[in-house]
Chains A and B, each alone.
Chain A
Amino acid sequence: MSAKPYLLRKIISALTGLFLILFLIVHLYDNIFLFFGEEAFNTKAKELLSNPFIRVVEVLLFLSLIFHIGYGIYITVKNKKARNVPYKKIDWQTPFYKRMMWLSGTVIFLFLVIHLQSFLVPYRITGEADNLYQLVVLTFKNPFYTGFYIIAFIFLGFHLLHAWESAFQTFGFNHPVFTPIIKIIGWVLAIGITVGYSVVAIVAYLIL
């Protein structure tokens, strides 16, 4: 294979990642319907399913996910290969989460498998579950599930914290005024997503 600049790998990661962030925000918005009661939530779910636009986006989403994961693995393997002999003693000058995207990514992937198995498979594929609201609330009643859910979102938060800022750098955007703002948005985003999803889970576990 002829060598291609790493930016071509990186940009796929960045673009798919940004798309996935968009999805996370929309998904969180949908999750909030959980607070409005069983009917509202289930209606919303049905509504989304019947929206053709959403179905197209859904395909894009899965493609993004596959590319994001695929390239994530590819990039990680390539980067590990670039140092065949590890340091015996090293004091990295960068926060752990920036170095551990592969780890947070793996945890998120595991979560995703469980998450899809819990909701998408019974609701959409096998059709075992018809009442999504019931399914969700019931699932979150399991403390282990909710616990892992929150942990996964903490990992996701760290993943996002680096990802958001990094994407702009990859696009070539680093500006003395705007980059600090982008960083702040990154923090808001990371905390917002982690807290937002976790609150829904906790509410489902404790109250609903």
Chain B
Amino acid sequence: MSEKKTMRLTLKVWRQNGPQDQGRFETYELDNVNPDWSFLEMLDILNMKLVREGKEPIAFESDCREGICGTCGFVINGRAHGHLHKTTVCQLHMRHFKDGETIVIEPFRATAFPVLKDLIIDRSAMDFILKRGGYISVNVGSAPDANTIPVPKHNSDRAFDFATCIGCGACIAACPNASAALFVSAKITHLALLPQGHPEREKRVDEMLTAMEEQGFGGCSNTYACEVECPKGISITGIARANLEYWRAKLKGN
């Protein structure tokens, strides 16, 4: 690693004390930013500085810090998880920003995602959708030998491509309608592509899409903004697939 120049940044961060608070931007200056820091490490350091000054640190969430748990996520300069393609905030490194840059940080915004504090939002609405059908109802103890269910490699690989969703909410944040279509369809498609998922497919798609509505998410208007921001690169072809599942279920009289 060669010697790298450090950076000076201006951060405009959304601060909000609680769900009822109005919220406002606050501006922080941060010097000596190392390009090898991750974005969250940069915030850690800012927070340590704030704590030393006796100020309340910026509340934000993260956990695995390797882009798989889906805990982190906010909007950086108008882009969910920042401008880097297929990257969560925790994997975004400061080398992708310029010295002297002003960075605006805002929470994911959707009616279904109330802000709890600063950049922390409540995403439980996503689990309320999943619980309505994002599973295969098979009991422990009653599974046949794994190799008695052959699955074409192509289908299995595609199922994985949708199962890889980390449930971070970026698709919803990036959608002009705050629609959860990509998130919901990822689960529907994952299970629709596997023979194991077939016995419950009609009920699943109907229930999950209804739940998405009940949770206050918008409808999909096929702008495909979600696909661009998805850190796992989940394709909107899954939305079409889920739609097909839905019409199929309707035609079968469900």
Contact = CB atoms under 8 A, between A and B. Distances in A.
Touching chains A and B, CB distance < 8 Å: yes
Interface of A: 3-7, 9-10, 75, 78-94, 98-99, 101, 162, 165-166, 168-174
Nearest to A13: B221
Interface of B: 14, 25, 75, 77-79, 83, 104, 106, 109-112, 115, 174, 176-179, 206, 209-210, 212-214, 216-225, 228-229, 236-237, 239-248
Contacts of B239: 169, 174
Q: Most A CB atoms within 10 A — which of B112, B176, B237, B245?
A: B176
Given A87-B109, A172-B240, A7 B246 contact: yes
Contacts of B247: 7, 171-172
Contacts of B174: 92-93
Given A79-B179, A82-B179, A172-B240, A10 B220 contact: yes
A204 to B, nearest CB: 35
A181 B75 CA distance: 35
Contacts of A174: 236-237, 239-241
B219 A9 contact: yes
B220 A6 contact: yes
Nearest to A95: B223
A137 B115 CA distance: 59
B206 to A, nearest CB: 7
Nearest to B177: A79
A15 B251 CA distance: 16
A7 B209 contact: yes
Contacts of A83: 109-111, 177-178, 218
Contacts of A166: 221-222
A86 B178 CA distance: 10
A64 B247 CA distance: 21
B225 A93 contact: yes
Given A79-B176, A83-B110, A6 B75 contact: no
Given A170-B243, A172-B245, A82 B221 contact: no
A5 B210 contact: yes
Contacts of B222: 98, 162, 165-166, 169-170
Contact of B109 (A79, A86, A162): A86
B244 A173 contact: yes
22 contacts: A4-B210, A5-B210, A6-B179, A79-B179, A82-B110, A82-B111, A83-B109, A87-B106, A87-B109, A88-B25, A89-B77, A89-B78, A90-B75, A91-B83, A92-B174, A92-B176, A93-B174, A98-B222, A101-B221, A162-B222, A173-B244, A174-B237
A6 B213 contact: yes
B204 to A, nearest CB: 12
Contact of A94 (B78, B223, B243, B245): B223
A165 B221 CA distance: 11
A182 B84 CA distance: 30
B91 to A, nearest CB: 18
B111 A169 contact: no
A9 B240 CA distance: 16
Contacts of A101: 221
Contacts of A9: 219
A93 B173 CA distance: 11
Contact of A172 (B75, B106, B241): B241
Contact of A3 (B78, B110, B210): B210
A154 to B, nearest CB: 20
A78 B219 contact: yes
A23 to B, nearest CB: 22
Contacts of A82: 110-112, 177-179, 216-218
A180 B99 CA distance: 41
Contacts of A92: 78, 174, 176, 225
A89 B109 CA distance: 11
Contacts of A171: 243-244, 247
Nearest to B78: A91
A10 B247 CA distance: 12
Contacts of B111: 81-85
A83 B172 CA distance: 10
Given A5-B206, A94-B225, A87 B244 contact: no
